[in-house]
Chains A and B, each alone.
Chain A
Amino acid sequence: MSEHLNGAPTRAEICAVAVAETFRGDGERLANPIGTIPMVGGRLARETFEPDLVMTDGFGAFAANPMPPGAPTTEAIVEAWNPYPQMFAVLWNGRRHVMMGATQVDRFGNQNIACIGDWSRPRSQLLGFRGAPGNTINHTTSYWVPNHTPQVFVSAVDVVCGIGYDRAAALGPVAARFHEIRRVVSNLGVFDFETPDHSMRLRSVHPGVTVDDVVAATGFDVVIDTEVPISREPTDDELALIRTVIDPAGLREREVPNP
């Protein structure tokens, strides 16, 4: 355990910092990351540079304390009750930034979690649309992909659940005025849509990953700048927070194994 506490940052920890960075500047907003590393990253942002973020206990309440992933609701210091009907009210109101998973995501940030194949008779039924259509049209959305492959980063998703920038543009500036796909964080790097046509750009590669690795694992032409930065590493304080307070059980390492 002591070795674990003092060791160099793992890939999972790099990812957690990248997730935390997606919430930078959000202020007093519901940061709603779904998944283990997203939860760790969101908690990290709140414990460090984004203290006003509101976060859930993973169930029906907003919790003031950095509950580790999997902690029971009895450990929550509850700020406010937020059962599901209220969660929809918050998301329609827009004061929320969700980080969802994506079975498929394309170069404009269209996301699929519904099924693989034709929706009317899917080859593989997955989660259905869940909250993706409502999230993406109402407030900021980011995506988390723990296993970056060409099967996930595809040229066209089978079913558009969360809408990307091309779909938003087709709706026009009024209908899409609350739409923002801020980032995609994967186990290989960080991606944004800060390009003239809002197509996906490689924002940084994680330490130990090359640009060629990303290109080989991506099923479309991702925008590559001349200089691609390396994702920032956690500070000593951040590392200590992750390892001792936010995720002492190390669940993050199961979601993204260290290469």
Chain B
Amino acid sequence: MAVPDKRTTEDEVVASLRDGMTIGIGGWGSRRKPMSLVRAILRSSLTDLTIVSYGGPDVGLLCRSGQASRVVSGFVSLDSIPLEPHYRAARQSSSIEATELDEGMLLLGLMAAAWRVPFLPTRAGLGSDLLTVMPQIRTVRSPYPGPDGGEGEELVAVPALALDVALIHMNRADRGGNGQFLGQDLYMDDHMAMAAERTFMTCERLIATEDFADHGPLQTQRISRLMVTGVIERPHAAHFTECPPDYERDEAFQKQYAATAKSDEAWDAFRATYLDVTEDEYQRAVGVAR
């Protein structure tokens, strides 16, 4: 069983990051987010980051900490709490530069980067204010007629969203960096991984390569070590976001998190108890550590 050994730690990963980097974060809203890696960034002095995400608390936390300067998102939501309060505050005070894409456009931007083409075309955005308020999104004229007609159509050219680093979380992985998702949806994690120069993956359980088949069918083995630089076994890494079938979202804790947008005091207290601590201390504090 000759897979390489790519095991690492959250702190080693973060030590390899630099100010100003573009970081893609997998998952969707408050679902299967690589939160232990996000928490490691929150413990660091990294700054001026560009975050690319179907955003949830990952984006909110990095906006509140002041480490995100730019956010490229399809939305930022906590699902059961539709509006992410810290992202809202950042938008309303212009403390970040936002690129708010149509959800499908973000997928195309990641695909373009993954496939090393400068853009991918779509109709999404035509006629909307998205192209007015974000003039960096350009259009392109088709050299071909459409399959159903339409000569020389003007389409939106979604620019490639190249990432310096992608952070993703899987249910299972081997030490070589092959990953397996066991929930309903991979979201865009495979595209994120391919769009990035380096990808780091946390997992609920590190297993032997030959044991993947015991956990799920072939089709769940969607992340290849070709795309992964380092892997970290960290049960409950996605807390407080959901990671089915391993665990559901911690709704009570999410409410507590959302309430920290109400005052600086609330944020400072949350930060002291849950963020200015090691991952092990965090997991003990929220009551998920064994």
- Interface flag for A115 (CB, 8 Å): yes
- B116: which A residues are within 8 A, CB to CB? none
- Interface flag for B83 (CB, 8 Å): yes
The minimal Cβ–Cβ distance linking A84 to chain B, given in whole angstroms, is 6
The minimal Cβ–Cβ distance linking B128 to chain A, given in whole angstroms, is 4
Separation of A83 and B122 alpha carbons in the complex (Å)? 20
Q: A83, A125, A159, A177: which has the most chain B beta carbons within 10 Å?
A: A125
- Interface flag for B252 (CB, 8 Å): no
- A124: which B residues are within 8 A, CB to CB? 88, 92
The minimal Cβ–Cβ distance linking A48 to chain B, given in whole angstroms, is 29
- B82: which A residues are within 8 A, CB to CB? 127
Q: Is the CB of B91 within 8 A of A125?
A: yes
- A162: which B residues are within 8 A, CB to CB? 128
Considering only residues 120-141 of chain A, those with a C-beta below 8 Å from chain B are 120-134, 136-138
Interface size class on chain A is: 35 or more
Q: Using an 8 Å CB-CB cutoff, how does the interface string of B64-95 with A read, 1 for contact, 0 for none?
A: 00000000011111000011000110011010
- A119: which B residues are within 8 A, CB to CB? 129, 133
- B150: which A residues are within 8 A, CB to CB? 174-175, 177
- Interface flag for A99 (CB, 8 Å): no
Separation of A87 and B177 alpha carbons in the complex (Å)? 28
Separation of A120 and B134 alpha carbons in the complex (Å)? 9
The minimal Cβ–Cβ distance linking B281 to chain A, given in whole angstroms, is 33
Interface size class on chain B is: 35 or more
- Interface flag for A37 (CB, 8 Å): no
Q: Is the CB of B185 within 8 A of A128?
A: no
- Interface flag for A163 (CB, 8 Å): yes
Q: A84, A120, A124, A133: which has the most chain B beta carbons within 10 Å?
A: A133
The minimal Cβ–Cβ distance linking B54 to chain A, given in whole angstroms, is 8
The minimal Cβ–Cβ distance linking B135 to chain A, given in whole angstroms, is 11
Q: Is the CB of B184 within 8 A of A83?
A: yes
- Interface flag for A59 (CB, 8 Å): yes
Separation of A92 and B104 alpha carbons in the complex (Å)? 9
The minimal Cβ–Cβ distance linking B130 to chain A, given in whole angstroms, is 5
The answer, among B83, B102, B154, for a CB contact under 8 Å with A175, is B154
Separation of A162 and B129 alpha carbons in the complex (Å)? 9
Q: Is the CB of B125 within 8 A of A134?
A: yes
Separation of A185 and B105 alpha carbons in the complex (Å)? 28
Known A-B contacts A88-B107, A131-B104, A132-B102; the reply to A83 vs B83 at CB < 8 A is no
Q: A88, A121, A127, A159: which has the most chain B beta carbons within 10 Å?
A: A88
- Interface flag for B288 (CB, 8 Å): no
- Interface flag for A256 (CB, 8 Å): no
Q: Is the CB of B126 within 8 A of A137?
A: yes
- Interface flag for A176 (CB, 8 Å): yes
- B88: which A residues are within 8 A, CB to CB? 124-125
- A84: which B residues are within 8 A, CB to CB? 28, 103, 185, 187-188
The minimal Cβ–Cβ distance linking B142 to chain A, given in whole angstroms, is 10
Separation of A122 and B102 alpha carbons in the complex (Å)? 18
- Interface flag for B153 (CB, 8 Å): yes
- Interface flag for A171 (CB, 8 Å): yes
- Interface flag for A91 (CB, 8 Å): yes
Known A-B contacts A85-B188, A134-B122, A160-B129; the reply to A128 vs B92 at CB < 8 A is no
- A83: which B residues are within 8 A, CB to CB? 184-187
Q: What residue in chain B is nearest A111 (Cβ atoms)?
A: B128
Known A-B contacts A123-B92, A132-B102, A134-B103; the reply to A161 vs B153 at CB < 8 A is no
The answer, among B101, B103, B125, B133, for a CB contact under 8 Å with A88, is B103
Q: A83, A125, A129, A136: which has the most chain B beta carbons within 10 Å?
A: A129
The minimal Cβ–Cβ distance linking A106 to chain B, given in whole angstroms, is 12
- Interface flag for B124 (CB, 8 Å): yes
The answer, among A81, A133, A159, A170, for a CB contact under 8 Å with B102, is A133
Separation of A137 and B187 alpha carbons in the complex (Å)? 23
Q: 3 shortest A-B CB distances, which residue pairs?
A: A134-B124, A60-B184, A167-B127
Could you list 9 further interchain pairs (A-B, Cβ under 8 angstroms) beyond the known A130-B74, A137-B127? A85-B187, A85-B191, A122-B92, A128-B73, A129-B128, A129-B130, A133-B125, A137-B123, A163-B128
